[in-house]
Amino acid sequence: MGFLRFLRPTPAAAAPSEDLAQVLAEVRRIEVQSSRLVTDVLAGGYRSTFRGAGVEFADVREYVEGDDPRSVDWNVTARLGRPFVKRFVEERELTIVFALDLSAPMDAGLGAWSLRQTAARFCALLGLAAIANDDRVGFLAGSAAVERFVLPRKGAGHVLRIVRDCLVVRGAGPDGSVDALVAQASRGLRRRTVVFLLSHFFGPLDPRTMLLGGRDHDLVAVRLLPRELFEPPRALLRVADPADGASRLVDFADERVRTAWRERVGAWRARSDESLGRASIDRIDVEVPAVRDVGAIAGPILRFFRRRELREAKR
């Protein structure tokens, strides 16, 4: 697709202590910004959307008028000489895994954050909501191949480690494919898992890999949309292809250039929508805001929750 971005240095892995300190400070800021939003808004929506994998037996109690006769435990009833019914509780524990694309365009973007930084905030918000519901959270990341796999665990500290990895871990090469992440999720996650696949989705998707991933897990595509896709600055910009670094001048003040750009973006978006739709993969579109506001990320998550709830209500 050849999407472009401003020429600016892209740091390597945050090896120097100063860079690492900045990353850790950023993680702490995300935690502070997210905590109230998670507690007040997202946790309830998360719980009502992800209801668990089923029900499990808890215990038995004496039959009372109005109980379903089908729930009678006949063995206990025969042993004690009076009717008892089985009591079931919802199996609440879920596993959430974030699968992060590490290709070069993820470090691009003209909004308040790069796509990678936006992804880190998404993981912070949804990860902390999952932990608040006592669920486990894991992490996959890679470009052409999977380069980081963090097993699902519980705990806020574990989620913050994942957020840190979102910001620090680098891909082995500039190009990438989300197919490798989906294939690894299918191979490496034994129980059915909710997998949030975070990427720009600029490249083509392998239909078979996506279909298998959606069959094995609850696969949700989180499409990260940089601001320049829809609102390129009206200026003469020196931009670079994030994959190979080749640069050139583009006059985004020229209306013909803007029209061609809009047409190109529209065609890409239609192809992306069609590919995800054919694989029956749910989608969350997150547009990078112009100013730092985690509410711009929470909004699409809440709309996703409501869409899921309405779908379940119609079944």
113 and 249 both lie in a single domain: yes
252 and 148 both lie in a single domain: yes
* d(C-alpha 273, C-alpha 58), whole Å: 43
pLDDT tens column, 38-77: 666 677 777 767 755 445 556 788 888 778 787 898 988 8
* d(C-alpha 247, C-alpha 255), whole Å: 21
Give the CATH number of the domain where residue 199 resides: 3.40.50.410
301 and 212 both lie in a single domain: yes
307 and 219 both lie in a single domain: yes
79 and 205 both lie in a single domain: no
> Which residues are CB-contacts of 127 (< 8 A; sequence separation ≥ 6)?
96, 98, 137, 159, 162, 163
142 and 67 both lie in a single domain: no
The burial of 298, by beta-carbon neighbours within 10 Å (0-12 exposed, 13-18 middle, 19 or more buried), is given as buried
Q: How many domains does the chain have?
A: 2
> Where do the H-state alpha helices sit in the chain?
17-37, 43-49, 74-80, 115-132, 156-168, 178-188, 207-216, 255-278, 295-314
170 and 303 both lie in a single domain: yes
Say yes or no to pLDDT of 36 above 80.
Answer: no
For 43, what's the count of Cα atoms within 13 Å in the CB-facing half-sphere?
Answer: 13
Q: What radius of gyration, in Å, describes the C-alpha atoms of the chain?
A: 23
The residue segments making up the domain with residue 62 are: 54-91
Distances (CA, A) of 195 to 97, 178, 308: 5, 12, 15
pLDDT at 16: 40
18 and 67 both lie in a single domain: no
- Two structure tokens written together for 263: 């047409």
241 and 178 both lie in a single domain: yes
Say yes or no to pLDDT of 17 above 50.
Answer: no
pLDDT at 187: 87
Please compute the mean of the pLDDT values over residues 218-227 and round it to a whole number.
94
pLDDT at 232: 86
210 and 99 both lie in a single domain: yes
| Domain end point (choices 63, 91, 119) | 91
Say yes or no to pLDDT of 33 above 70.
Answer: no
pLDDT tens column, 95-116: 999 999 998 889 888 888 999 9
97 and 59 both lie in a single domain: no
